[in-house]
Structure 1
Protein backbone atom coordinates (compact mmCIF):
# COMPACT_ATOMS: atom_id res chain seq x y z
CA UNK A 1 0.00 0.00 0.00
CA UNK A 2 1.28 3.47 -0.82
CA UNK A 3 2.35 5.48 2.20
CA UNK A 4 -0.44 7.91 3.04
CA UNK A 5 1.62 10.12 5.25
CA UNK A 6 4.06 11.29 2.61
CA UNK A 7 4.84 15.04 2.47
CA UNK A 8 1.93 16.96 0.97
CA UNK A 9 2.11 19.98 -1.31
CA UNK A 10 1.32 22.77 1.11
CA UNK A 11 0.25 21.28 4.45
CA UNK A 12 2.64 19.40 6.74
CA UNK A 13 2.63 15.64 7.12
CA UNK A 14 -0.64 14.48 8.74
CA UNK A 15 -0.41 14.47 12.53
CA UNK A 16 -2.84 14.25 15.41
CA UNK A 17 -6.28 12.98 14.40
CA UNK A 18 -5.34 13.03 10.72
CA UNK A 19 -2.23 11.00 11.47
CA UNK A 20 -4.24 8.55 13.57
CA UNK A 21 -6.83 8.10 10.82
CA UNK A 22 -4.04 7.71 8.28
CA UNK A 23 -2.55 4.92 10.37
CA UNK A 24 -5.91 3.11 10.51
CA UNK A 25 -6.31 3.31 6.74
CA UNK A 26 -2.74 2.18 6.14
CA UNK A 27 -3.29 -0.82 8.42
CA UNK A 28 -6.90 -1.78 7.61
CA UNK A 29 -7.60 -0.06 4.29
CA UNK A 30 -11.15 1.21 3.71
CA UNK A 31 -12.51 -0.57 6.84
CA UNK A 32 -10.06 1.56 8.83
CA UNK A 33 -11.83 4.68 7.56
CA UNK A 34 -15.15 3.11 8.60
CA UNK A 35 -13.79 2.37 12.08
CA UNK A 36 -12.57 5.96 12.44
CA UNK A 37 -15.99 7.34 11.47
CA UNK A 38 -17.78 4.94 13.85
CA UNK A 39 -15.61 6.22 16.69
CA UNK A 40 -16.31 9.80 15.55
CA UNK A 41 -20.00 9.18 16.21
CA UNK A 42 -19.27 7.97 19.73
CA UNK A 43 -16.69 10.67 20.45
CA UNK A 44 -17.80 13.83 18.56
CA UNK A 45 -14.49 15.65 19.17
CA UNK A 46 -13.13 13.32 16.47
CA UNK A 47 -14.10 15.34 13.37
CA UNK A 48 -15.53 13.53 10.36
CA UNK A 49 -14.63 16.68 8.44
CA UNK A 50 -11.01 15.50 8.68
CA UNK A 51 -11.51 11.74 8.37
CA UNK A 52 -13.79 11.74 5.32
CA UNK A 53 -11.72 14.01 3.03
CA UNK A 54 -8.62 12.10 4.11
CA UNK A 55 -10.31 8.87 2.99
CA UNK A 56 -11.06 10.55 -0.34
CA UNK A 57 -7.43 11.60 -0.66
CA UNK A 58 -6.33 8.02 0.04
CA UNK A 59 -8.66 6.90 -2.75
CA UNK A 60 -7.19 9.47 -5.13
CA UNK A 61 -3.75 8.00 -4.42
CA UNK A 62 -4.96 4.49 -5.18
CA UNK A 63 -4.52 3.30 -1.59
CA UNK A 64 -8.20 2.38 -1.26
CA UNK A 65 -11.08 2.18 -3.72
CA UNK A 66 -13.36 5.23 -3.85
CA UNK A 67 -16.54 3.13 -3.66
CA UNK A 68 -15.13 1.17 -0.73
CA UNK A 69 -14.29 4.40 1.10
CA UNK A 70 -17.89 5.62 0.76
CA UNK A 71 -19.35 2.23 1.70
CA UNK A 72 -17.22 1.68 4.79
CA UNK A 73 -17.52 5.23 6.11
CA UNK A 74 -21.31 5.05 5.72
CA UNK A 75 -21.36 1.70 7.50
CA UNK A 76 -19.20 3.18 10.25
CA UNK A 77 -21.56 6.15 10.62
CA UNK A 78 -24.55 3.84 10.90
CA UNK A 79 -22.91 1.51 13.44
CA UNK A 80 -21.86 4.44 15.62
CA UNK A 81 -25.34 5.97 15.42
CA UNK A 82 -26.99 2.68 16.41
CA UNK A 83 -24.74 2.46 19.48
CA UNK A 84 -25.94 5.92 20.57
CA UNK A 85 -29.53 4.97 19.75
CA UNK A 86 -29.31 2.15 22.30
CA UNK A 87 -27.75 4.53 24.83
CA UNK A 88 -30.91 6.59 24.49
CA UNK A 89 -33.09 3.47 24.65
CA UNK A 90 -31.37 2.35 27.87
CA UNK A 91 -31.75 5.82 29.34
CA UNK A 92 -35.47 5.73 28.55
CA UNK A 93 -38.24 8.27 28.90
CA UNK A 94 -38.71 7.83 32.66
CA UNK A 95 -35.03 8.37 33.47
CA UNK A 96 -34.91 11.37 31.16
CA UNK A 97 -37.89 12.91 32.94
CA UNK A 98 -36.33 12.16 36.33
CA UNK A 99 -33.05 13.82 35.29
CA UNK A 100 -34.92 16.85 33.92
CA UNK A 101 -36.78 17.23 37.21
CA UNK A 102 -33.45 17.62 39.02
CA UNK A 103 -31.96 20.15 36.60
CA UNK A 104 -32.22 23.87 37.38
CA UNK A 105 -34.38 25.90 34.98
CA UNK A 106 -35.60 22.72 33.27
CA UNK A 107 -39.11 21.36 33.73
CA UNK A 108 -40.55 17.98 32.99
CA UNK A 109 -42.98 19.85 30.73
CA UNK A 110 -40.00 20.78 28.55
CA UNK A 111 -39.24 17.09 28.09
CA UNK A 112 -42.87 16.44 27.24
CA UNK A 113 -42.86 19.19 24.60
CA UNK A 114 -39.64 17.87 23.15
CA UNK A 115 -41.15 14.40 23.02
CA UNK A 116 -44.22 15.74 21.23
CA UNK A 117 -42.02 17.62 18.76
CA UNK A 118 -39.96 14.52 18.07
CA UNK A 119 -43.11 12.49 17.52
CA UNK A 120 -44.12 14.94 14.77
CA UNK A 121 -40.72 15.67 13.21
CA UNK A 122 -38.47 12.81 14.31
CA UNK A 123 -37.97 11.31 10.87
CA UNK A 124 -36.86 14.64 9.39
CA UNK A 125 -34.69 15.34 12.44
CA UNK A 126 -32.82 12.04 12.12
CA UNK A 127 -32.36 12.33 8.35
CA UNK A 128 -31.25 15.98 8.19
CA UNK A 129 -29.49 15.77 11.54
CA UNK A 130 -26.98 13.39 9.96
CA UNK A 131 -25.83 16.33 7.83
CA UNK A 132 -25.46 18.94 10.57
CA UNK A 133 -22.19 19.22 12.53
CA UNK A 134 -22.48 18.41 16.25
CA UNK A 135 -26.07 17.15 15.91
CA UNK A 136 -24.89 14.30 13.65
CA UNK A 137 -24.12 12.24 16.74
CA UNK A 138 -26.51 13.73 19.30
CA UNK A 139 -29.70 13.15 17.29
CA UNK A 140 -29.37 9.38 17.79
CA UNK A 141 -29.97 9.67 21.55
CA UNK A 142 -33.52 11.16 21.47
CA UNK A 143 -34.38 8.69 18.70
CA UNK A 144 -33.49 5.92 21.13
CA UNK A 145 -35.32 7.54 24.03
CA UNK A 146 -38.47 7.81 21.92
CA UNK A 147 -37.94 4.26 20.62
CA UNK A 148 -38.18 5.21 16.96
CA UNK A 149 -38.64 1.92 15.05
CA UNK A 150 -35.12 0.62 14.53
CA UNK A 151 -35.71 -0.16 10.85
CA UNK A 152 -36.81 3.45 10.25
CA UNK A 153 -33.86 4.77 12.22
CA UNK A 154 -31.41 2.59 10.29
CA UNK A 155 -32.82 3.63 6.92
CA UNK A 156 -32.83 7.36 7.67
CA UNK A 157 -29.38 7.24 9.27
CA UNK A 158 -27.83 5.25 6.43
CA UNK A 159 -29.32 7.54 3.76
CA UNK A 160 -28.38 10.78 5.52
CA UNK A 161 -24.89 9.46 6.26
CA UNK A 162 -24.45 8.29 2.67
CA UNK A 163 -25.15 11.80 1.39
CA UNK A 164 -22.89 13.52 3.93
CA UNK A 165 -20.04 11.02 3.56
CA UNK A 166 -20.18 10.97 -0.23
CA UNK A 167 -19.88 14.77 -0.42
CA UNK A 168 -16.82 14.85 1.82
CA UNK A 169 -15.11 11.76 0.47
CA UNK A 170 -15.54 13.09 -3.09
CA UNK A 171 -14.24 16.50 -1.98
CA UNK A 172 -11.08 14.88 -0.67
CA UNK A 173 -10.81 12.76 -3.80
CA UNK A 174 -11.10 15.74 -6.14
CA UNK A 175 -8.88 18.03 -4.09
CA UNK A 176 -6.17 15.38 -3.78
CA UNK A 177 -3.24 16.73 -1.77
CA UNK A 178 -5.33 19.76 -0.83
CA UNK A 179 -7.91 17.56 0.98
CA UNK A 180 -7.15 19.44 4.21
CA UNK A 181 -8.82 22.60 2.86
CA UNK A 182 -12.26 20.99 3.34
CA UNK A 183 -12.02 21.27 7.12
CA UNK A 184 -11.60 25.04 6.98
CA UNK A 185 -14.83 25.53 5.03
CA UNK A 186 -16.79 23.12 7.21
CA UNK A 187 -15.43 24.89 10.26
CA UNK A 188 -17.42 27.96 9.23
CA UNK A 189 -20.64 25.92 9.17
CA UNK A 190 -19.78 24.35 12.51
CA UNK A 191 -19.20 27.78 14.06
CA UNK A 192 -22.60 28.91 12.78
CA UNK A 193 -24.22 25.85 14.38
CA UNK A 194 -22.39 26.45 17.67
CA UNK A 195 -23.44 30.11 17.67
CA UNK A 196 -27.07 29.14 17.04
CA UNK A 197 -26.96 26.62 19.90
CA UNK A 198 -25.40 29.15 22.27
CA UNK A 199 -28.03 31.73 21.37
CA UNK A 200 -30.81 29.18 21.81
CA UNK A 201 -29.53 28.06 25.20
CA UNK A 202 -29.01 31.67 26.23
CA UNK A 203 -32.57 32.57 25.27
CA UNK A 204 -33.90 29.55 27.18
CA UNK A 205 -31.97 30.39 30.35
CA UNK A 206 -32.77 34.13 30.27
CA UNK A 207 -36.48 33.54 29.60
CA UNK A 208 -36.67 31.05 32.48
CA UNK A 209 -34.89 33.39 34.89
CA UNK A 210 -37.15 36.31 33.95
CA UNK A 211 -40.24 34.13 34.28
CA UNK A 212 -39.13 32.92 37.72
CA UNK A 213 -38.52 36.49 38.88
CA UNK A 214 -41.92 37.56 37.57
CA UNK A 215 -43.63 34.76 39.50
CA UNK A 216 -41.64 35.72 42.59
CA UNK A 217 -42.77 39.35 42.40
CA UNK A 218 -46.40 38.32 41.94
CA UNK A 219 -46.13 35.94 44.88
CA UNK A 220 -44.67 38.59 47.17
Structure 2
Protein backbone atom coordinates (compact mmCIF):
# COMPACT_ATOMS: atom_id res chain seq x y z
CA UNK A 1 0.00 0.00 0.00
CA UNK A 2 1.33 3.46 -0.89
CA UNK A 3 2.26 5.78 1.94
CA UNK A 4 -0.40 8.36 2.72
CA UNK A 5 0.33 11.95 1.82
CA UNK A 6 1.16 13.94 4.98
CA UNK A 7 -0.30 17.45 5.09
CA UNK A 8 0.52 20.08 7.72
CA UNK A 9 -2.20 22.70 8.19
CA UNK A 10 -0.86 25.98 9.60
CA UNK A 11 -3.88 28.14 10.41
CA UNK A 12 -4.52 30.53 13.32
CA UNK A 13 -8.29 29.91 13.29
CA UNK A 14 -8.56 26.59 15.11
CA UNK A 15 -12.10 25.82 13.93
CA UNK A 16 -11.11 26.34 10.29
CA UNK A 17 -7.88 24.39 10.72
CA UNK A 18 -9.77 21.49 12.27
CA UNK A 19 -12.34 21.58 9.45
CA UNK A 20 -9.58 21.45 6.84
CA UNK A 21 -7.92 18.50 8.59
CA UNK A 22 -11.17 16.57 9.00
CA UNK A 23 -12.12 17.13 5.36
CA UNK A 24 -8.71 15.97 4.11
CA UNK A 25 -8.85 12.94 6.41
CA UNK A 26 -12.04 11.86 4.67
CA UNK A 27 -10.05 11.70 1.43
CA UNK A 28 -7.29 9.54 2.93
CA UNK A 29 -4.73 12.21 3.75
CA UNK A 30 -2.78 12.23 6.99
CA UNK A 31 -2.96 15.67 8.59
CA UNK A 32 -1.55 17.60 11.51
CA UNK A 33 -2.77 20.99 12.69
CA UNK A 34 -0.63 23.86 13.96
CA UNK A 35 -1.92 27.17 15.27
CA UNK A 36 1.29 29.11 14.68
CA UNK A 37 4.31 29.13 12.41
CA UNK A 38 6.99 28.39 15.00
CA UNK A 39 5.37 25.14 16.11
CA UNK A 40 4.94 24.04 12.50
CA UNK A 41 8.55 24.88 11.67
CA UNK A 42 9.85 22.87 14.63
CA UNK A 43 7.81 19.83 13.58
CA UNK A 44 8.96 20.12 9.97
CA UNK A 45 12.54 19.66 11.18
CA UNK A 46 11.50 16.43 12.95
CA UNK A 47 9.17 15.06 10.27
CA UNK A 48 8.88 16.78 6.93
CA UNK A 49 5.39 16.75 5.37
CA UNK A 50 4.59 16.28 1.69
CA UNK A 51 2.41 19.40 1.61
CA UNK A 52 1.93 22.46 3.82
CA UNK A 53 -1.26 24.53 3.81
CA UNK A 54 -0.27 27.91 5.23
CA UNK A 55 -2.36 30.89 6.27
CA UNK A 56 -0.56 34.21 5.78
CA UNK A 57 -1.91 35.76 8.98
CA UNK A 58 -0.35 33.82 11.84
CA UNK A 59 -0.14 34.96 15.49
CA UNK A 60 3.66 34.75 15.74
CA UNK A 61 4.84 35.55 12.20
CA UNK A 62 3.77 36.46 8.70
CA UNK A 63 3.01 33.32 6.73
CA UNK A 64 5.20 34.72 3.93
CA UNK A 65 8.19 34.47 6.30
CA UNK A 66 7.43 30.80 6.96
CA UNK A 67 7.14 30.13 3.22
CA UNK A 68 10.46 31.90 2.67
CA UNK A 69 12.12 29.51 5.13
CA UNK A 70 10.59 26.48 3.40
CA UNK A 71 11.23 27.50 -0.21
CA UNK A 72 14.31 25.29 -0.62
CA UNK A 73 12.75 22.25 1.02
CA UNK A 74 11.06 19.58 -1.06
CA UNK A 75 7.59 20.46 0.25
CA UNK A 76 4.48 21.43 -1.72
CA UNK A 77 2.96 24.69 -0.47
CA UNK A 78 -0.62 25.94 -0.73
CA UNK A 79 -1.40 29.40 0.62
CA UNK A 80 -4.85 29.90 2.17
CA UNK A 81 -5.53 33.50 3.14
CA UNK A 82 -8.05 36.28 3.39
CA UNK A 83 -5.40 38.58 1.95
CA UNK A 84 -6.17 39.06 -1.73
CA UNK A 85 -3.67 41.82 -2.50
CA UNK A 86 -1.67 41.48 -5.70
CA UNK A 87 1.60 41.89 -3.77
CA UNK A 88 0.80 38.91 -1.53
CA UNK A 89 -0.06 36.71 -4.50
CA UNK A 90 3.06 37.69 -6.45
CA UNK A 91 5.40 37.31 -3.46
CA UNK A 92 3.90 33.94 -2.52
CA UNK A 93 4.43 32.62 -6.04
CA UNK A 94 7.92 34.09 -6.26
CA UNK A 95 8.87 32.25 -3.08
CA UNK A 96 7.74 28.97 -4.60
CA UNK A 97 4.17 28.49 -3.40
CA UNK A 98 2.30 26.04 -5.63
CA UNK A 99 -1.20 27.45 -5.19
CA UNK A 100 -3.04 30.41 -3.64
CA UNK A 101 -6.62 30.17 -2.35
CA UNK A 102 -8.49 33.12 -0.88
CA UNK A 103 -10.98 32.91 1.97
CA UNK A 104 -13.80 32.12 2.10
CA UNK A 105 -13.56 28.90 0.14
CA UNK A 106 -15.32 25.57 -0.13
CA UNK A 107 -13.44 22.78 1.72
CA UNK A 108 -14.01 20.47 -1.25
CA UNK A 109 -12.26 22.95 -3.53
CA UNK A 110 -9.23 22.85 -1.25
CA UNK A 111 -9.27 19.05 -1.36
CA UNK A 112 -9.20 19.19 -5.17
CA UNK A 113 -6.22 21.55 -5.07
CA UNK A 114 -4.38 19.29 -2.61
CA UNK A 115 -5.09 16.23 -4.75
CA UNK A 116 -3.82 18.05 -7.84
CA UNK A 117 -0.59 19.02 -6.07
CA UNK A 118 -0.20 15.48 -4.72
CA UNK A 119 -0.42 14.03 -8.25
CA UNK A 120 2.21 16.46 -9.49
CA UNK A 121 4.52 15.62 -6.59
CA UNK A 122 4.15 11.89 -7.23
CA UNK A 123 4.75 12.35 -10.96
CA UNK A 124 7.94 14.29 -10.29
CA UNK A 125 9.22 11.81 -7.68
CA UNK A 126 8.32 8.56 -9.43
CA UNK A 127 9.00 9.13 -13.14
CA UNK A 128 12.61 9.23 -14.32
CA UNK A 129 13.55 11.72 -17.03
CA UNK A 130 14.34 9.43 -19.98
CA UNK A 131 16.41 7.38 -17.50
CA UNK A 132 18.95 10.24 -17.54
CA UNK A 133 20.37 11.74 -14.38
CA UNK A 134 21.09 15.35 -15.26
CA UNK A 135 20.90 17.93 -18.04
CA UNK A 136 23.60 20.35 -19.24
CA UNK A 137 22.80 23.57 -21.10
CA UNK A 138 24.57 26.92 -21.61
CA UNK A 139 27.09 26.23 -18.86
CA UNK A 140 24.46 25.05 -16.38
CA UNK A 141 23.88 21.61 -14.91
CA UNK A 142 20.43 20.65 -13.64
CA UNK A 143 19.73 17.60 -11.47
CA UNK A 144 15.97 16.82 -11.47
CA UNK A 145 16.27 14.36 -8.59
CA UNK A 146 17.52 17.00 -6.14
CA UNK A 147 16.01 20.11 -7.79
CA UNK A 148 19.50 21.64 -7.91
CA UNK A 149 20.92 23.88 -10.61
CA UNK A 150 24.69 24.18 -11.15
CA UNK A 151 25.25 21.33 -8.71
CA UNK A 152 28.80 20.77 -10.05
CA UNK A 153 29.98 24.32 -9.38
CA UNK A 154 30.56 26.35 -6.20
CA UNK A 155 27.38 28.30 -6.98
CA UNK A 156 24.28 26.15 -6.48
CA UNK A 157 20.63 27.12 -6.85
CA UNK A 158 17.78 25.22 -5.24
CA UNK A 159 14.59 25.38 -7.29
CA UNK A 160 11.10 25.23 -5.89
CA UNK A 161 9.02 22.31 -7.12
CA UNK A 162 7.00 24.65 -9.36
CA UNK A 163 10.17 26.11 -10.89
CA UNK A 164 11.64 22.62 -11.31
CA UNK A 165 8.58 21.35 -13.17
CA UNK A 166 8.67 24.34 -15.49
CA UNK A 167 12.41 24.03 -16.19
CA UNK A 168 12.05 20.30 -16.79
CA UNK A 169 9.34 20.87 -19.39
CA UNK A 170 11.55 23.39 -21.18
CA UNK A 171 14.65 21.19 -21.05
CA UNK A 172 12.74 18.24 -22.51
CA UNK A 173 11.51 20.43 -25.40
CA UNK A 174 14.25 22.89 -26.44
CA UNK A 175 13.45 25.15 -29.39
CA UNK A 176 9.77 24.25 -29.11
CA UNK A 177 7.03 26.67 -28.13
CA UNK A 178 5.27 25.55 -24.96
CA UNK A 179 1.93 27.10 -24.10
CA UNK A 180 1.18 28.53 -20.69
CA UNK A 181 -1.00 25.51 -19.92
CA UNK A 182 1.79 23.11 -20.93
CA UNK A 183 4.22 24.84 -18.59
CA UNK A 184 1.82 25.03 -15.65
CA UNK A 185 0.24 21.60 -16.11
CA UNK A 186 -1.81 20.88 -12.99
CA UNK A 187 0.13 23.57 -11.18
CA UNK A 188 -2.49 26.18 -12.01
CA UNK A 189 -3.49 28.93 -9.62
CA UNK A 190 -6.47 31.31 -10.01
CA UNK A 191 -4.23 34.20 -10.97
CA UNK A 192 -3.57 35.27 -14.56
CA UNK A 193 0.04 36.36 -13.98
CA UNK A 194 1.16 33.19 -12.18
CA UNK A 195 3.03 31.88 -15.22
CA UNK A 196 4.70 35.25 -15.85
CA UNK A 197 5.90 35.49 -12.25
CA UNK A 198 7.42 32.00 -12.35
CA UNK A 199 9.03 32.45 -15.75
CA UNK A 200 10.57 35.73 -14.55
CA UNK A 201 11.97 34.04 -11.44
CA UNK A 202 13.32 31.11 -13.45
CA UNK A 203 14.94 33.45 -15.98
CA UNK A 204 16.95 35.09 -13.21
CA UNK A 205 18.27 31.70 -12.10
CA UNK A 206 19.39 30.58 -15.57
CA UNK A 207 20.68 33.92 -16.79
CA UNK A 208 23.82 33.27 -18.87
CA UNK A 209 26.89 34.76 -17.20
CA UNK A 210 28.03 38.09 -18.69
CA UNK A 211 25.04 38.04 -21.01
CA UNK A 212 22.06 40.38 -21.00
CA UNK A 213 19.98 38.00 -23.11
CA UNK A 214 17.63 35.31 -21.93
CA UNK A 215 17.40 31.58 -22.53
CA UNK A 216 13.60 31.62 -22.22
CA UNK A 217 12.04 33.51 -25.09
CA UNK A 218 8.51 34.89 -24.92
CA UNK A 219 6.52 34.05 -28.04
CA UNK A 220 3.66 36.52 -27.76
CA UNK A 221 0.26 34.96 -28.07
CA UNK A 222 1.71 31.44 -28.04
CA UNK A 223 3.86 30.77 -24.97
CA UNK A 224 7.54 30.36 -24.15
CA UNK A 225 10.54 28.65 -25.75
CA UNK A 226 13.96 27.55 -24.45
CA UNK A 227 16.57 28.67 -26.96
CA UNK A 228 19.64 26.57 -26.17
CA UNK A 229 21.01 23.11 -26.82
CA UNK A 230 20.39 20.55 -24.05
CA UNK A 231 22.41 17.42 -23.39
CA UNK A 232 21.18 14.68 -21.05
CA UNK A 233 23.68 12.47 -19.23
TM-score of the pair, normalised by structure 1: 0.26
> Higher Cα Rg: structure 1 or 2?
1
Larger RCO, structure (CA 8 Å, separation 6 or more) = 1
Greater share of helix residues, 1 or 2?
A: 1
- TM-score, normalised with respect to structure 2: 0.25
